Chain A
Amino acid sequence: MVDQKLRATIITGRTIDQGVGKELGKGSQEYFDSAAVCFMDKVDMIKLGLRNGANVQVTSKYGSVVVKARKFPRGSMPGMVFIPCGLWANAVCGDDTFSMGMPMFKGFPVDVEPAPDQTVLTLNELLKKEFGKGM
């Protein structure tokens, strides 16, 4: 039986591909390919009936974003998803700082569901959608 939705803990952080992508330019294809993704455990992907590269919608209390699901290549981390730092990750991160200045980048709950009919927005499209501005 394929599940409709996965309740998971999200972690955002760096990957080497995201690092290379951001240095090549935030508008580059490399940045888009490396940052608009969500790494998931293989077991969770099977539960949701997802193939590598399928579109998923990640939703938190703070927002929602569509990214590509990728199988996490090392070890197991069921119930946890990882989105590299960037605009797509920040669409779901919260601005609560617990009086310490540090927002919610890691360790809060999100829902992940397959989104075959939705597209992953590019940097410019996402800027326009979230902030109504852009180049």
Chain B
Amino acid sequence: MTTELKSIVCPICGCLCDDLEVTVEDNKIVKMKNGCAVCEAKMVHGYNSEERILKPMIRKDGTLVPVSMDEAVHKAAQILADAKYPLLFGWSSSTSEAQRVGVELAEELGSALDNCCSVCHGPSVMATQEIGIPTCTLGQIRHRADLIVYWACNPWASHPRHVERYTNFSEGRFEKSEWKEYIQKIKATSGKKKLAAAARQSHFMKYQPPPRPQTCVVDAPPQTIQKMGRKMIVFDVRKTMTAEAADYFVQVEPNKDYEIIQALRCLVNDQELDVDKVGGVPVEYLKEVADALVNCEFGVIFFGLGLTASAGRFRNIEIAIALTRDLNKKTKFVISPMRGHFNVTGANVVFAWQTGYPYALDFSQGYPQYNPGENTAIDVLRRGDNDATLVISADPGAHFPKAAVQNMMKHPLITINPDWNAISRLGDVVFPTQWCGIEYEGTAYRMDHVPIVLRKVVEPPQGVLNDEELLTRILAEVRKIKAEKAAAAPPKTKCAAKVEAN
């Protein structure tokens, strides 16, 4: 039987594109429309490949052996209940309903609790808490923004439909799409290349290739930087596909974003700079960029990990927000982080409404404590504080520095992922789970904090639970084990009870 489903939400990146059209045949996705290459790789091929985990497994004598769900749940609960300070990490590719149960589990265990934001936009969260953030929804940007700045991010690779759906290539109510101009630009470039190739082959003309620049060179801003209507400026350390599509690309020296943003702040505030270059960029070019920023009607800065992971960390974001604030004295400007996983924003939101804090939590005192740089996953791991780890819907095996994972390997590791990623391959108790947004529905928060309901497209494999069901079972088993332990413990002396009460 063939079913055509419309308005399906993509469960991959923070764009949460909600216009996918999916064809299902015999409980399998066979065709898809509107998704990007990454989306198609998952929704049509990856979700159902031989990389899928279908049975719970426990490592016995070094090898993973399939076991029953009850045995795996008991084993995982035993590990967590026996540990003094487990770390619960991941959550960003799961539903908000599962994240809520995760917080309850962390509280029950007195554990460390962190989500993927600590290795992506954690510094952005910290900066936002310091000075606030002028921002808006992607819908408003789509309809109104005439100047889009992508700073240290490459949506062409990480959020492939961001430009098409929300910024320059989208047809807004008040701003036109830039597609036509982009296609003309591509045609002109390929025409030039063809002419050069023909000249090279010609016997009459000796083609001299242009000399290659030996250092990073920033070209002067083109006329289009001051044009009316939509325009795109990209700041990055290397020329990405996004940079190629931009009206103006500024190549920044690595780790020099802070200086450039600070210079732009001076120029926007009509101050003079007494240097010629900042971060490899001539000040006269920055002046033209500052003019473009001030002269737009509604501008937006999207920023990525190039700011959060480079020298300066959260100070880079703080200063970028300060620039946006300065610009708001002269025009309308907003700023927005390019959140990666489809529900990493949701993890921050759920953690915050449950505990008051968005990530980097420590429940070891019985109440939530928040301290990024101390309770964040990498810091807990590098100190070797934790004595067990649970990883859910994330792959620190492939995305954490080696030293952190090596410390994780010293203690039991429980993993909950639908497929054999790097961390599942390293697990001691490995749970299969359903693909959310494909095999069950749930809530996810888009990068601009808009909650969207992910839809179910196909039936899950038999016996495989979803994240929320699985965590609820583990939590119940942990409570049972703890109650049994408490009952079996010798009665406390008056003195010991008093000490505990204190």
Q: Find out whether the CB atom of A101 lies under 8 angstroms from the CB atom of B154.
A: no
Task: Find residues 369-397 in chain B having any chain A CB closer than 8 Å to their own CB.
Answer: 372-374, 376-379, 381-382, 395, 397
- In chain A, residues 88-111, which have Cβ atoms closer than 8 Å to a Cβ of chain B? 90-91, 93-95, 97-107
Q: How far is the CA of A74 from the CA of B397 in the complex (A)?
A: 30
With A14-B157, A90-B400 already in contact, the answer to whether A105 and B311 are too (CB < 8 A) is no
Decide if A26 touches B422 in the complex (CB within 8 Å). Answer: yes
CA distance A98 to B122 in the complex (A): 13
Partner of A103, one of B51, B119, B395, B419: B119
Tell me if B119 and A102 are in contact (CB < 8 A): yes
Chain A stretch 78-134: residues in CB contact (< 8 A) with chain B: 78, 80, 82, 85-87, 90-91, 93-95, 97-107, 123-124, 127, 130-134
Q: CB-CB < 8 A to A87: which residues of B?
A: 397-398, 422
Say if the beta carbon of B406 comes within 8 Å of chain A. Answer: yes
The distance in angstroms between the C-alpha atoms of A9 and B401, with both chains bound, is 17
Find out whether the CB atom of B119 lies under 8 angstroms from the CB atom of A100: no
Alpha-carbon gap, A52 to B88, bound state (A): 42
B313 at the interface (CB under 8 A from A): yes
Task: Decide: B378 and A103 in contact? CB cutoff 8 A.
Answer: yes
Contact call A101/B360, Cβ cutoff below 8 A: yes
Q: Which residue of B lies closest to A91 (CB)?
A: B402
Kindly provide the distance from the CB of A99 to the nearest chain B CB, expressed in whole angstroms.
4
Residues of B within 8 A of A93 (CB): 401-402
Q: How many angstroms between the C-alpha atoms of A100 and B215 in the bound complex?
A: 32
B247-285 CB contact bits vs A (8 Å, 1 = yes)?
Answer: 001010011000000000000000000000000000000
Chain A positions 14 through 30: 1 when the CB is less than 8 Å from some CB of chain B, otherwise 0: 11101111111111100
| Alpha-carbon gap, A63 to B400, bound state (A) | 13
Any chain A CB within 8 A of the CB of B459? no
A42 CB contact (under 8 Å) in B212, B238, B372 = B212
Give every chain A residue within 8 A of B42 (Cβ-Cβ). 23-24
- Residue-wise, chain A 48-63 has the 8 Å CB interface mask toward B (1 for contact) of 0000000000000011
In the bound complex, do residue B398 and residue A90 qualify as a contact, i.e. CB atoms below 8 Å apart?
A: yes
Tell me if A101 and B122 are in contact (CB < 8 A): yes
Query: In the complex, are the beta carbons of B398 and A26 less than 8 A apart?
Result: yes
Asked whether, in the complex, the Cβ of A14 is within 8 Å of the Cβ of B158, the reply is: yes
Q: How far is the CB of A17 from chain B (nearest CB, A)?
A: 8
Return the chain B residue nearest A25 by Cβ: B51
Report B199 CB to chain A, min CB distance, Å: 21
Q: Name which of A97, A101, A106, A131 has the most chain B CB atoms within 10 A of its CB.
A: A101
CB within 8 Å for A16 and B37 given contacts A11-B254, A107-B255: yes
Contact B402 A27 (CB under 8 A): no
Asked whether B405 is an interface residue with its Cβ less than 8 Å from the other chain, the reply is yes
> Is the beta-carbon distance between B425 and A135 smaller than 8 angstroms?
yes
What is the bound-complex CA distance between A86 and B396, given in angstroms? 9
CB distance from B426 to the nearest CB of A (A): 5
Contact with B37, one of A20, A91, A130 (Cβ below 8 angstroms): A20
A127→B50 CA distance, assembly (Å): 19
Chain A residues, Cβ within 8 Å of B401: 62, 90, 93-95, 103-104
CB neighbours (8 Å) of A100 from chain B are: 122-123, 126, 313-314, 372-373, 376
Q: Report the Cα distance A9→B239, complex, angstroms.
A: 15
Contact with A along B394-435 (1 / 0, CB 8 A): 010111111111100100000000011110011000000000
In the complex, which residues of chain A have a beta carbon less than 8 angstroms from the beta carbon of B406?
130-131
Residues A19 and B157 in contact in the complex (CB < 8 Å), given A25-B49, A87-B398, A102-B119: yes
Question: B156 on the interface (CB 8 Å rule)?
Answer: yes
B50, B313, B398: the one within 8 Å of A102 (CB): B313
When chains A and B are docked, how far (Å) is the Cα of A54 from the Cα of B405? 29
Interface residues of B in 299-348 (CB under 8 A from A): 305-306, 308-311, 313-314
**B187 → chain A, closest Cβ, in Å?**
18
A27 cross-chain contacts in B, Cβ below 8 A: 51, 420
C-alpha gap A22/B13 in the complex (Å) = 13
For the complex, give the distance between the alpha carbons of A19 and B285 in Å: 34
Cα A123 to Cα B424 with chains together (Å): 12
Residues of A within 8 A of B215 (CB): 76, 78
19 A-B pairs in the complex with CB atoms less than 8 angstroms apart: A11-B238, A13-B158, A19-B160, A23-B39, A24-B51, A26-B51, A62-B402, A76-B212, A78-B216, A85-B399, A90-B399, A95-B401, A102-B119, A102-B123, A103-B400, A105-B119, A105-B305, A106-B254, A107-B310
If A76-B213, A101-B373, A103-B309 are given as contacts, then 4 extra A-B residue pairs at C-beta distance below 8 Å, sorted by A number, are A20-B37, A74-B243, A77-B239, A97-B379
